[in-house]
Amino acid sequence: MPYPKIISPDFQMKRKSVKSTFFALGTEVETIIVVASKKEQARARVDIRKIKNLFRKKQRVFCRFNPESELSRLNKNLGVWQEASPDILYLAKRALFYHQESGGIYDPRVIDVLDNIGYKSAETKAKKTELKSERFKKLPADLRIEQNKIFFSRRMDFTGIAKGYIIDQAAEFLRKRSWKNFFINVNGDAYAAGRNKKGEKWKLPVEGATDKETAVYISNEGVATSGVIKKQWKHKGKNVHHLINPKNTGKFSFEIRSVLVIHKKTEWADGRAKVLVLMGKKKGLAFAKKKKLQAIFADRRGKIMFSNIQG
């Protein structure tokens, strides 16, 4: 456990928390706000409803499973310049950055490969198509941005970093509403501010660890988790998962169960977690060390390895 349970001296009085769980982005979204009075409880419930609306609104922008989303509209009109929302433009720029930083391991164009192996909806289904390896050009050849317009030569999928981006927007909303202690968790991607109602740092389990008590304790940080545990199935008798390596789209590695990355922003962690899984143990740890990323790796046996974890 890389973070100790340090109790804040500011939590001498007994505090409560307002908690809500709702469904968005294909999974459960958990929001917790620590409150000190009944008046704050009422205000927290109102703000959590606004968080719920924020997630649903952004889902209509990024969801590749929704044919009416902005992303789906852009993907239906390839080869032409199209007006795009600030959300799409921002994540497109971040996608280009993560692509360059990772040497091409991060790539939003793998959407076609995912479709071909049966990942065409929230439920994965094996297809009868042959599993073929595909080679990609550098991303700027297919993704261009000019002021408020965007150009897709191929279909794109930014959902790999959209979750972290939306979490960060939700966290910023709560900060502007003067909340100092809260937790937003979307299936292992999370942002934690301040402390929980006991005055301790927020706890998040490390997915894939053999020791189920393995966890991180975070405060004023974002966390992203990527792995092959939850989304794997068979395609023509071969074990596959949803993490596609653009360097070899026909190869599916199970060397790493999961990687958890801790960063100042959840989206920044999101853009690196999948990359580290795809790089594998040796290259992933080396990359994390080089980029000074705080990361926790769980290998195929559940053994935990750390990179730059600060106590």
How far is Cα 247 from Cα 166, in angstroms, rounded to an integer? 28
So what's the pLDDT on residue 235?
74
Distance of CA 34 to CAs 19, 45, 179, 301, Å?
Answer: 9, 11, 8, 37
Tokens 């909806």 sit on residue: 121
Sign of torsion over alpha carbons 268, 270, 271, 275: positive
CA proximity to 258, closest of 244, 268, 246, 243: 243
So what's the pLDDT on residue 222?
98
So what's the pLDDT on residue 176?
98
So what's the pLDDT on residue 11?
54
How far is Cα 123 from Cα 231, in angstroms, rounded to an integer? 9
Which tokens is 77 given?
A: 């009109």
Task: Compute the C-alpha angle 208/124/134, nearest 5°.
Answer: 90
Residues 164 and 269: beta-carbon distance below 8 Å: yes
Per-residue pLDDT of the chain (311 residues; tens, 9 = 90+): 454 555 555 555 679 999 999 999 889 999 999 999 999 999 999 999 999 999 999 999 999 889 999 999 999 999 999 999 999 999 999 999 999 999 999 999 999 888 888 776 544 444 444 555 567 889 999 999 999 999 999 999 998 899 999 999 999 999 999 999 999 999 999 999 999 999 999 999 999 898 888 999 999 999 999 988 777 656 776 777 577 888 887 787 878 899 999 999 999 999 999 999 999 999 999 999 999 999 999 998 989 999 977 65
CA proximity to 54, closest of 165, 166, 160, 162: 166
Q: Please give the CATH topology (third level) of the domain spanning 1-65+110-137+159-311.
A: T-fold (3.10.520)
Residues 251 and 245: beta-carbon distance below 8 Å: yes
